[in-house]
A and B are shown apart, each in its own frame.
Chain A
Amino acid sequence: LAKTTQPISMDSYEGQEVNITCSHNNIATNDYITWYQQFPSQGPRFIIQGYKTKVTNEVASLFIPADRKSSTLSLPRVSLSDTAVYYCLVGDMRRRNFNKFYFGSGTKLNVKP
């Protein structure tokens, strides 16, 4: 499965838009890109998932360029409660491809007042 590379940490201020980019140069044709959010002492929580172009939900947007070698999670107008670690995962959950599943180290987002 494709490994991912993300910035270790980012700082932002309340009300700003935050963009977190993930590199996944070895992404395979059947791989999807999924982002999770984790608060301290809690399990990760699904945020958004996509395959190509742009996906938007009530929480975030996900931008994926044509070559799919990277993706950008966009959080509009962050608040203090968005302070968390954000993980980018790339993979195919189908049985024969599920050899390993990498969460990586994630990006620690610190939102300041």
Chain B
Amino acid sequence: DADVTQTPRNRITKTGKRIMLECSQTKGHDRMYWYRQDPGLGLRLIYYSFDVKDINKGEISDGYSVSRQAQAKFSLSLESAIPNQTALYFCATSDASGRDISTDTQYFGPGTRLTVL
């Protein structure tokens, strides 16, 4: 979905390096999410943010941190990358305003493929 962009699209780094993955959206959505995807494991939620001041840990937040710089931007950081953080990372957004938020659906970015050597 072109309304949700992720940078970089591919990154190779070394163990111990600090890495930041960025997500931007033009959909005007309040909610943003970070997932990682490993082969055979589907997507797992790392962090989610319901608005700029509301950030929450997901299922697998250890080793990651996030920053919600503005409504449109949500960054994921790996403070000290390790090889088992090699994965495909997706950002997503959703809009719970003005509707029954129990039915909220998510819009995903194209993903960032991260390799930690």
Contact = CB atoms under 8 A, between A and B. Distances in A.
Name A's interface SS: loop
B102 A46 contact: no
Contacts of A104: 42
A100 B42 contact: no
Contact of B104 (A36, A93, A100): A93
Contact of A101 (B40, B58, B111): B58
Contact of B111 (A41, A100, A102): A41
Interface of B: 1, 4, 33, 35, 40-45, 48, 50, 56, 58-59, 90, 92, 94, 96, 101-111
Contacts of A43: 1, 4, 90, 92, 108-111
Interface in A31-47: 32, 34, 36, 41-46
Contacts of A42: 108, 110-111
Nearest to B33: A101
Interface of A: 30, 32, 34, 36, 41-46, 49, 87, 92-95, 98, 100-106
B26 to A, nearest CB: 15
B43 to A, nearest CB: 4
A49 B103 contact: yes
Nearest to A4: B42
Contacts of B104: 93
